[in-house]
Amino acid sequence: MTRKSTKGSLKKWMGLALTMVMGVSLLAGCSSASDQELAEGGTSGSSERVTLKVEIFDRGNSPSPYTITNNYLSKMIQEKFGDPNNIDVQFVPVQRSEEVTKLNVLMASNTDVPDIVFVYDSSVFYRYAQQGGLTDVGELINQYGPNLKKFLGEDTLKFGQVEGQQFAVPGKRAITGRYSSYIRQDWLDKLGLPVPKTTDELYSTLKAFKEKDPGGLGSKNIPMGMALAPAQFETLIYSFIKPVSGDLTYGQRYELPLHEGFKDSMKFLNKLYNEGLISKDFSLDEDKTQLGKDIQNGNVGYWSEDVDAMFYGDGTLDNLRKNVDGSEVLPVDVYTNPNADNKHIKSRYGTNGMYIMIPKSSKRSVEAIKYLDWMASDNNLIDIYSGVEGENYDLVDGIPVVKDDASQEAKDRLFNAGDTAIISNGKNIGDQATNEKAWILGFPKNNQDLLKQSIDIANTDTVGPIIFDKPIEAEMKYSTALKDKLNVIIVKTAMAKPEEFDAVYEREMNDFMSLGGTELKKELEEALQ
């Protein structure tokens, strides 16, 4: 792939980026401080005690006597990393619900921005990189982050690169499996039906659920649970679309309409809706609240969901068992994709979690990488995530397993563990199989077998995101409008009368393309070259 110089690209993108972040320029926060510190070796060789400021999400859930900035983990980090390195580690709270808004304000400041910041939204990361607001950490990682580099691996590091320059340290995702589907085994048994294995067989099963009402629910009977949420509509759509290249495809959800087969997925959804086979008011249920209630009350025969969502203690599955005697749930893999050799195609997460960044104005870039490297070293991630052996967890075959009888005091010390272990999205203790085993052991014993089946399904015939070596400008420019439009397409085409489907689909897709879809499609296809 031909690469243009990053400096040239930054100039090209400057006009666009300057208009996108709350009307203030991130360039106010740019200086040569980080470059100078690196050239001088940072402060690593100095006896001067320095302060390293690290962003931390504040979810408003700090148990007494802890605060988000003064707690068990902050003290442990100071003791094990800060004091030996003559560094005061200061955590800067940002409300999770205001993550991007607050970060935009901080990044526009020369003085208030932490030395380590992060965001989950790739488009926000690209904006900061384009405006010259971030430190290139490639050489810093080579010099001060050998353990960090080994932990992340080259594939994950690529997510933080812009045209070959490492402007972010991507967190590493422990589990890439995303979605699974489920069916009421007791409904199948009552009707003497086998477990469906294809989309056509699923349709026949849903028809039987509606016509024969095995739950005796009358008007409350919902053959297939549906919500206007990714876990529900993505699983259906992916079973029709053709991946762009092998087991890779465009990474943004609002790019689904650009795929071959998308219209077929909407036509199938239209069929399900008009035949009364899915949740009637799914368009009003964007947070899945109603779907969750319907499943727990025993009203739903088949549904798709995030791979782990059902299995938490006193969660969806436990409540279904309490509410409906004899209810049995079976994880199933039924959607077959005609555009991909009838495989059970479904999306998987990329190997990256959040984008961890060092602002260009930071004078503590060396210390920042040392901190992330410390986190990736020895037993430090386990100490952050799992706490104290014998109090919070027991080691079982080398895997930390949460103690059922852990005291409240022990539990409270880990209230912000996930938000502190920023280099790891989920518990990374080995390869993915080991991570999955550890994950499963953290759930109630009576749900673990079903969760394992669910994870196995989530890992079957998966399609991941393509990593481009530069930002897709149209994604940043049109993402908000196209996200909203995707929901409109799904709702309007689903609810159209069958004879009006083609006209409605064409109208909504024309609107999608005029809102930026045309430019997005062109740029994505060029980037593929």
pLDDT tens-digit profile of 232-272?
A: 999 999 999 999 999 999 999 999 999 999 999 999 999 99
**The total number of residues written for the chain in this structure:** 529
DSSP per-residue codes, 144-204 = H-HHHHHHHHHHHHGGGEETTEE--EEEEES----EEEEEEHHHHHHHTPPPP-SHHHHHH
Is residue 285 within 8 Å of residue 228, measured between CB atoms? yes
pLDDT of residue 5: 39
How distant, in Å, are the alpha carbons of 25, 57, 107, 184, 417 from that of 103? 13, 11, 6, 45, 21
Return the minimum-mean-pLDDT range out of 180-184, 368-372, 432-436: 432-436
pLDDT at 63 over 90: yes
Identify the CA nearest to 299 among candidates 232, 227, 236, 219.
219
**Measured between alpha carbons, how far apart are the two ends of the chain, in Å?**
7
Residue 65 structure tokens: 């006597």
pLDDT at 138 over 50: yes
Residues 6+ apart with CB under 8 A from 290: 227, 279, 281, 284
Q: What is the DSSP letter of 467?
A: -
User: What whole-number distance in Å separates Cα of residue 392 and Cα of residue 380?
Assistant: 15
pLDDT of residue 46: 56
Identify the CA nearest to 180 among candidates 454, 460, 440.
454
pLDDT at 76 over 80: yes
Bond before 194 cis per omega within 30 degrees: no
Q: How many CA atoms lie within 13 A of 454 on its CB side?
A: 28
Taking residues 520-526, report their average pLDDT.
Answer: 97
pLDDT of residue 471: 87
- Apex CA 282: angle with CA 281 and CA 288, to 5°? 125
Q: How many CA atoms lie within 13 A of 6 on its CB side?
A: 16
Give tens-digit pLDDT for 324-382. 999 999 999 999 999 999 999 999 999 999 999 999 999 999 999 999 999 999 999 99
- Count Cβ neighbours within 10 Å for each residue of 55-78 and write b for 16 or more, e otherwise: bbbbeeebeeebebeebbbbebbe
Q: From the CB of residue 4, how many other CB atoms can be counted at a distance below 10 Å?
A: 10
Q: How do 117-119 and 352-357 pair as beta strands?
A: antiparallel
Is residue 523 within 8 Å of residue 470, measured between CB atoms? no
pLDDT at 2 over 50: no
User: What whole-number distance in Å separates Cα of residue 307 and Cα of residue 312?
Assistant: 11
pLDDT at 22 over 60: no
Is residue 329 within 8 Å of residue 317, measured between CB atoms? yes
- Count Cβ neighbours within 10 Å for each residue of 506-516 and write b for 16 or more, e otherwise: eebbeebbebb
Return the minimum-mean-pLDDT range out of 28-42, 320-334, 361-375, 433-447: 28-42
Q: How do 300-306 and 222-224 pair as beta strands?
A: parallel
Q: How far, in whole angstroms, is CA 227 from its chain's centroid?
A: 19
Q: From the CB of residue 416, how many other CB atoms can be counted at a distance below 10 Å?
A: 23
Q: What percent of the chain has pLDDT over 90?
A: 84
Is residue 225 within 8 Å of residue 310, measured between CB atoms? no
Q: What is the DSSP letter of 302?
A: E
Give tens-digit pLDDT for 140-154. 999 999 999 999 999
Q: What percent of the chain has pLDDT over 70?
A: 91
Compute the mean pLDDT over every residue in the chain, rounded to the nearest whole number. 91
Taking residues 154-168, report their average pLDDT.
Answer: 94
pTM (two decimals): 0.84
pLDDT of residue 47: 75
Return the minimum-mean-pLDDT range out of 2-11, 34-43, 289-298: 2-11
Is residue 272 within 8 Å of residue 240, measured between CB atoms? no
Q: How many CA atoms lie within 13 A of 7 on its CB side?
A: 0
Residue 265 structure tokens: 């997925």
4 band by pLDDT with thresholds 50, 70 and 90: very low
pLDDT at 482 over 50: yes
